[in-house]
Amino acid sequence: MKRFDMRIVIGVVLIAAGSMYLLQNLGIFYGGVNLLGAIAVGSAGVASLYVYANNKENWWALIPGTTLIAIALNILIETISYSLGNILGGGIVLGGIALSFWMIYFTQRGSFWWAIIPAGVLSSLAVVSISGELFHTADGIFLLGLGLTFLFIAKLPGYEGQLKWAYIPGWILIAIGAISLPFMGNALNILFPLALIGAGGYVIYKNFKE
C-alpha cells in the first residue's frame, strides 16, 4: 500500500482556502476567513500527528497536534455560534492539551506516568471552564479533579506500591473539594448538627449500656 503523502493534505487545504475566499467575495458565504484560519491551524495539527504516526518516539508531536486541532475546532464553533464558542472555547482548548498528555501516557507508558499529572490538571481546568460558564460556579470542581488524578496515579499498575504516596494528597484534595462545592454549604448546615446529635446519643447509649 502506498504511504500517505502530505502533499494531498496541502492540496486539499489550498482548494478549501480558494473556495472560502471565492464564496466570501461573491457574498454567498460569510465567515470564510475564520474558517480558513481553522483549516490552516487544524492542518498544522494534523501534520504534527503525522510526525508522531511516522515515528512513535516523537511523542512530543502529540502536544502541538491535539492542541492545534482543538484551537481549530474552537474557531469553527465560534464562527457558527459566538455564544456557544464563548461557553465551550476555553474547555475545548484546555481539553485538547489535556488529551495530548493522556495520549502520551497511554501510548508510551513506562516512565511516562508523569504525563498523568498535567493531563489531570488540564482536564479539571477544562471542566471548570465550561461549568463556570454554564452554572457560574466552579468551586471545588478543580480540587476534585486534581484529587482524582492523584488517586489514579496511586492505582497505576506495574509500580508495586511505589506510588501509594499519591493517596494522601488525593483524598485530602477530594475532601476539600467536596466541602467547597456550592451545595455542600447547605448540606453541612444539616449534617453537622445531626452528627453532633448522633455523637451525643451514642455517648448516652454507651453510658447506660455499661
Q: What is the mean pLDDT of each run of 10 residues along the chain (210 residues)?
A: 60 73 67 75 88 89 93 87 81 92 85 87 88 69 87 79 83 82 62 70 71
C-alpha cell belonging to residue 90: 476555553
pLDDT at residue number 188: 57
pLDDT at residue number 83: 79
pLDDT at residue number 101: 93
pLDDT at residue number 89: 84
Phi, psi of 140 (to 5 degrees): 85, -20
pLDDT at residue number 1: 41
CB 148 within 8 A of CB 120: yes
What's the half-sphere exposure (Cβ side, CA atoms, 13 Å) at 93?
15
Count of CB atoms within 10 A of residue 166's CB? 20
Dist. CA 89–CA 83, nearest whole Å: 10
C-alpha cell belonging to residue 203: 455517648
Dist. CA 79–CA 206, nearest whole Å: 68
